[in-house]
Copies of this chain bind each other. A is one copy, B any other.
């Protein structure tokens, strides 16, 4: 049976000591309620909800799955009740603007909430999670009337929302979308087509579901420049927001998947379903891009959630399971064997999990701070800077954290030995659940092309330079010039980090030069380049956590061991995980020829 204890102390450490959320919150009058006491209280309540309501229906939800019968979808036992508690507790509205019933707390606090819920039960968390995409779309591009009708109910959680993009013939390549939107005389549209892989596309949690659908207007240009966005509710909605009749959105089937079985993945058939246009005609994809980064950071979170849940459970098992003796002599002579945590290789796996969970959390919470600015600041320049930085860091977060999250979940299985393969323990479920994370919301390959092709090469390295300036600024501040009292201790982090960042820049320049001659270098280097970048970015956050831990230990503080563990985990990261950059560097610089020279027929 899986257990879970929300890592509130780790979160507090990031909020207060590493990422300095409170001075950041104070800059925005909207966030005046987000005081340390309030935030702690909210997260404690959230932790209780996650530990007591969501975790207990995680494994049972996997076992039971969603059922589909005569067009109706039933979520697993307990999902509906938990959702009602969630809505009653006001959790859906937590970090949404007050104008439409939100509580106006910072998006970054919402990210912490999402982490706890997603760790306790990712499948369940997808239902409210998908709503955010729909809410953001209506918020950003809806008319006042559309906001009035749809946003309030979505913010309450009375309804949920979905994003309907993928079709059988296309996922990544949305230019191939075929779903049609036929204008009616009353200004509405008849939407007709089939959408697949629609998460939370059909369920029994709420009376209505608001679909945001990509479709083509008659005579729209081919490809991505001819796609528009529509709001299509499952049940028709009148001007007062009351649900009416069935709107011809039929669930054709549910996908039978490797994992996230408690989350309903629907095939939706739109048969002249009534919809309204949202945003300008033929600009659907551009409208979606405005909050794509937020959605992708939300998916990156899955890697952290999987890693954290797997780590917590592997750690408990490693302390209990007795097998063999330590090679340096019996550690528990009174027992029949030593607990497996004495074995260096078990520790290697546990520490890898710990380093990825905590390092990944720091990366996500850093991005969440940018989302705060992006969604709240009135200063256009500041907003633009935040957007630019977020755009740079997002593909790294999405792809790197989901890849290492999957690795971490596999380590958790491995710590359990053969028992890890048995469903009862829940460890293999974490692997199955998180396997989707490197696929949806843009595969690792797509993120990597976005990073190297668009973010790095198109900007001529500006986005990278801007980020590395920040890192080098930190390094300089913590090592050479300043009067940082932890200078000596920080050198072991700051020096390799500076060196890694310098290499990162050099390699990027070399790749840019090569790409001028051979466009295939972009696709050939991209995934290794992304992973390479990810390890360096995570190193930056581990260095920051180490610095913050030294600062805490320099003062009067309780739980000194907690901060010592941060420093030692940072040491582990720098010695044992950062060196993975070596292989990625070698591979990303290799000639694309070895990939491209084999004819299709020879493969």
Give the interface centre of A172, A319, A322, A327 by most chain B CB atoms within 10 Å. Answer: A327
Mark A550-572 against chain B: 1 for CB-CB distance below 8 A, else 0.
00000000000110110011011
Copies of the protein in its oligomer? 2
Give the distance in Å from the alpha carbon of A414 to the alpha carbon of B439 in the complex: 7
Give the distance in Å from the alpha carbon of A561 to the alpha carbon of B345 in the complex: 44
Which of B328, B421, B438, B590 contacts A258, CB < 8 Å? B421
Given contacts A520-B328, A582-B582, contact A594 B565 (CB under 8 A): no
A598 contacts B523, CB within 8 Å? no
Which of B166, B350, B421, B587 contacts A603, CB < 8 Å? B350
Give the distance in Å from the alpha carbon of A424 to the alpha carbon of B267 in the complex: 14
B431 contacts A435, CB within 8 Å? yes
B428 contacts A173, CB within 8 Å? no
A242 at the interface (CB under 8 A from B): no
A439 contacts B417, CB within 8 Å? yes
A595 at the interface (CB under 8 A from B): yes
A582 contacts B586, CB within 8 Å? yes
Which of B431, B432, B562, B572 contacts A595, CB < 8 Å? B572
Which of B348, B583, B587 contacts A524, CB < 8 Å? B348
Given contacts A327-B522, A422-B255, A435-B421, contact A571 B594 (CB under 8 A): yes
Write the chain B residue with the least CB distance to A406.
B410
User: Min CB distance, A9 to chain B, in Å?
Assistant: 13
Query: Of A225-233, A375-383, A385-393, A442-450, which stretch is located at the interface?
Result: A442-450
Q: Within 8 Å CB of A522, what residues of B? A: 327, 344
A520 contacts B439, CB within 8 Å? no
Q: Within 8 Å CB of A436, what residues of B? A: 418, 421
Give the distance in Å from the alpha carbon of A445 to the alpha carbon of B258 in the complex: 27
Q: How many A residues have CB within 8 A of the partner chain?
A: 96
A327 contacts B597, CB within 8 Å? no
Give the distance in Å from the alpha carbon of A592 to the alpha carbon of B328 in the complex: 12
Within A207-263, which residues are at the interface with B (CB < 8 Å)? 255-259
A580 at the interface (CB under 8 A from B): yes
Q: Is the interface of A mostly helix, strand, loop or mixed?
A: helix
A414 contacts B173, CB within 8 Å? no
Give the interface centre of A445, A594, A596 by most chain B CB atoms within 10 Å. Answer: A594
A197 at the interface (CB under 8 A from B): yes
A45 at the interface (CB under 8 A from B): no
Query: Of A11-19, A335-343, A362-370, A506-514, which stretch is located at the interface?
Result: A335-343
A36 at the interface (CB under 8 A from B): no
A601 at the interface (CB under 8 A from B): yes
Within A478-529, which residues are at the interface with B (CB < 8 Å)? 519-520, 522-524, 526-527
Give the distance in Å from the alpha carbon of A444 to the alpha carbon of B348 in the complex: 13
Within A403-447, which residues are at the interface with B (CB < 8 Å)? 406, 410, 413-414, 417-418, 420-424, 428, 431-432, 435-436, 438-440, 443-445
Q: Within 8 Å CB of A341, what residues of B? A: 600, 603
Q: Within 8 Å CB of A175, what residues of B? A: 337
Which of B259, B524, B600 contacts A345, CB < 8 Å? B524
Give the distance in Å from the alpha carbon of A171 to the alpha carbon of B419 in the complex: 10
Q: Within 8 Å CB of A572, what residues of B? A: 594-595, 598
Write the chain B residue with the least CB distance to A522.
B327
B565 contacts A176, CB within 8 Å? no
Can you list 19 pairs linking A and B with CB atoms under 8 Å apart? A166-B418, A173-B322, A173-B324, A176-B337, A257-B421, A258-B428, A315-B603, A328-B520, A341-B603, A344-B526, A345-B523, A345-B524, A348-B527, A410-B435, A414-B438, A418-B440, A568-B598, A571-B594, A579-B587
Extra inter-chain contacts (20) besides given A327-B453, A561-B599, CB under 8 Å? A173-B324, A257-B421, A257-B428, A328-B519, A341-B603, A344-B595, A346-B445, A347-B598, A351-B594, A351-B598, A420-B439, A421-B435, A561-B602, A568-B594, A575-B591, A579-B587, A580-B583, A582-B583, A582-B586, A583-B583
List 8 A-B pairs, minimum CB-CB distance, nearest first. A344-B523, A579-B586, A258-B428, A565-B602, A344-B524, A583-B583, A582-B582, A173-B323
